[in-house]
């Protein structure tokens, strides 16, 4: 075997589709192309550049595995004030290098080879591959599946359910009834409910967000993964966190020690010292992004293009209607013909090939609306109805 030949498992994993698409955009932009970028999974805010002046010298070094204590306290309080669920900052939370690593460590900590993890579509692109990397089996359900369909899919091999709430890309939030049903399922079958809440601030009009943890205050089966990436508009800082029962946090801490030691310490110190100020600064901007997202949904609707229901987050998942192109062909053609970058719906699951993902976070409104027009024009230009007319 050649020295650098990959393992069968890693070789079988694809690139993260959204990141791959954005790498292409970065390359095209570097060649001078003007791309309307609706594929980036982040919202650009004005966040004041951090100054590290005056931070303790400890900020330059490794921190405790579970994270800088002051940040843990602030995050625990933040979660508690949003959800009413107390979190012990000393043992029920760990600061991580983004929520992506929190999700991966959670899966690595709970899965035995062959365990099934139920993931409703549209699914965030990394879930199935993270499950596979942990030698589990992702079981996806089509986009129209209900919580009753999830219940029907539970088998003796099921170990966990992953829900993303609010949801990338539809913007849908789970209702209290749906969350309750999921908790009953978890409790009845001894499953872990992994709640990815990285868009928890993106609820229109400041409506309260209902965390999955509300229905499981003792953290018997719920793991909440969250992050500063989207909610604080600082995805590049790589700071996230996981809230779980202390017995699971102990297992996750071992993984973190062997993988990254701790989250970026200097940024964690800065965040801890400036937590409330950053939040006060970003919250109004989040509301503006959500409002923009919902105006973009209206612009699609005005052209007869429907999106899957939802109003939170900064994404939409519009339907390709009667276009004869599949979502990969559509996204490629849109980039080639109109210089508009989206992510093909198929990346979000086999049932999603009639959609593309649009993010409104990285472009001003006039360019977003140009992107919407280009999508609608391409749907019309490639629609079977048009062609047979
Ligand atoms: N979950 C979802 C649903 C996401 O969309 C993303 C990023 N696009 C993440 C998790 C990971 O974010 P991070 O690691 O930056 O916290």
Q: Provide, for the chain, the percentages of residues in helix, strand and coil under a 3-state DSSP scheme, each rounded to the nearest 5.
A: 50, 15, 40
Which ligand 1 atom sits closest to the C-alpha of 101?
14
What topology does CATH give the domain 8-45+279-388? 3.90.1150
Q: Give tens-digit pLDDT for 132-190.
A: 999 999 999 999 999 999 999 999 999 999 999 999 999 999 999 999 999 999 999 99
Q: Please check the confidence at residue 196 and state whether its pLDDT lies above 80.
A: yes
Instruction: Determine the atom of ligand 1 nearest the C-alpha atom of 97.
Output: 14
| Ligand 1 probe mutation, 126, 169, 197, 198, most atoms within 8 A of CB | 198
On the question of pLDDT at 388 being above 60, the answer is no
Alpha helices in 117-245 (DSSP H): 126-133, 147-153, 176-189, 228-231
**pLDDT the model gives residue 387:** 52
Instruction: Identify whether the C-beta of residue 318 lies closer than 8 Å to the C-beta of residue 337.
Output: no
Among protein residues, the one whose CA lies closest to atom 8 of ligand 1: 41
Residue 385: the pLDDT is 66
Distance 99 CA to ligand 1 centre (A): 6
Mean pLDDT across 44-56: 89
Q: What is the spatial distance between Cα 82 and Cα 64, in angstroms, rounded to a whole number? A: 26
CB atoms within 10 A of CB 277: 10
CA–CA gap between residue 346 and residue 320 (Å, rounded): 12
**Position 207 pLDDT exceeds 60:** yes
Q: pLDDT tens across 256-297, in order?
A: 999 999 999 999 999 999 999 999 999 999 999 999 999 999
Beta bridge partner(s), residue 194: 162, 223
**Rounded CA separation 344/327 (Å):** 5
Numbered ranges of CATH 3.40.640.10 in the chain = 57-278
Q: Please report, in angstroms and rounded to a whole number, the separation of the first and last CA atoms in the chain.
A: 58
In the chain, ranges of CATH 3.90.1150.10 domains: 8-45+279-388
- Per DSSP, the three-state class of 30 is helix
CA distance 261 to 278: 26
* Residues flanking ligand 1, CB < 6 Å: 41, 98-100, 124, 164, 168, 196, 198, 227, 229, 235, 240
Atom number in ligand 1 closest to CA 102: 14
Ligand 1 centre to CA of 303 (Å) is: 31
Q: Can you give the pTM of this predicted structure?
A: 0.95
Q: pLDDT tens-digit profile of 309-339?
A: 999 999 999 999 999 999 999 999 999 999 9
* 42 CA: nearest ligand 1 atom: 8
| DSSP code at position 97 | S
Q: Which residue puts its alpha carbon closest to atom 11 of ligand 1? A: 100
Residue 161's nearest CA partner among 199, 112, 127, 197 is 127
Ligand 1 pocket mutation pick from 124, 163, 226, 357 by most atoms within 8 angstroms of CB: 124
The residues that bridge with 95 in the sheet, in sequence order, are 241
CATH class of 57-278: alpha beta
Q: Phi first, then psi: give them for residue 19, nearest 5 degrees.
A: -70, -40
Lowest mean per-residue pLDDT among 13-17, 318-322, 382-386: 382-386
| pLDDT band per the 50, 70, 90 thresholds, residue 15 | confident
């Amino acid at each position: 075997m050649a020295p650098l030949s990959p393992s069968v498992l890693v070789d079988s994993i694809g690139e993260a589709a959204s990141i791959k698409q954005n790498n292409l955009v970065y390359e095209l932009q570097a060649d001078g192309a003007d791309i309307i970028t609706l594929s980036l999974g982040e919202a650009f805010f004005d966040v004041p550049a951090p100054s590290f002046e005056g931070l303790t010298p400890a900020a330059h070094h490794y921190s405790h595995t579970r994270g800088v204590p002051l940040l843990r306290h602030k995050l625990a309080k933040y979660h508690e004030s949003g959800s009413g669920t107390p979190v012990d900052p000393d043992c029920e939370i760990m600061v991580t290098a983004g929520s992506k690593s929190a999700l991966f460590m959670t899966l690595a900590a709970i899965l035995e080879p062959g365990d099934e993890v139920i993931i409703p579509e549209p699914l965030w692109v990394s879930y199935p591959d993270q499950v596979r990397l942990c030698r589990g089996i992702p079981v996806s359900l089509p986009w129209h599946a209900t919580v009753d369909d999830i219940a029907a899919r539970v088998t003796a091999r099921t170990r966990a359910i992953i829900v993303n709430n609010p949801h990338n890309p539809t913007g849908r939030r789970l209702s209290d009834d749906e969350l309750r049903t999921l908790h009953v399922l978890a409790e009845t079958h001894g499953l872990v409910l992994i709640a990815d809440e990285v868009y928890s601030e993106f609820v229109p009009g400041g409506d309260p967000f209902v965390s999955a943890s509300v229905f499981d205050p003792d953290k018997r089966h719920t793991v909440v993964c969250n992050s500063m990436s989207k909610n604080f508009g600082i995805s590049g800082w790589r700071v996230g966190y996981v809230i779980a029962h202390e017995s699971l946090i102990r297992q996750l801490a071992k993984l973190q020690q062997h993988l990254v030691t701790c989250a970026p310490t200097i940024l964690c110190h800065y965040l801890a010292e400036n937590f409330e100020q950053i939040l006060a600064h970003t919250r109004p901007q989040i509301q503006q992004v959500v409002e923009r997202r919902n105006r973009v949904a209206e612009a699609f609707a005005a052209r007869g293009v429907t999106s899957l229901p939802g109003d939170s987050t900064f994404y939409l998942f519009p339907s390709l209607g009667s276009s004869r192109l599949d979502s990969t062909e559509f996204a490629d053609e849109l980039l080639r013909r109109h210089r508009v970058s989206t992510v093909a719906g198929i990346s979000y699951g086999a049932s999603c090939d009639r959609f593309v993902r649009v993010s409104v976070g990285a472009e001003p409104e006039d360019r977003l609306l140009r992107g919407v027009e280009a999508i609608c024009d391409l749907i019309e230009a490639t629609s079977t109805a048009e062609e047979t007319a």
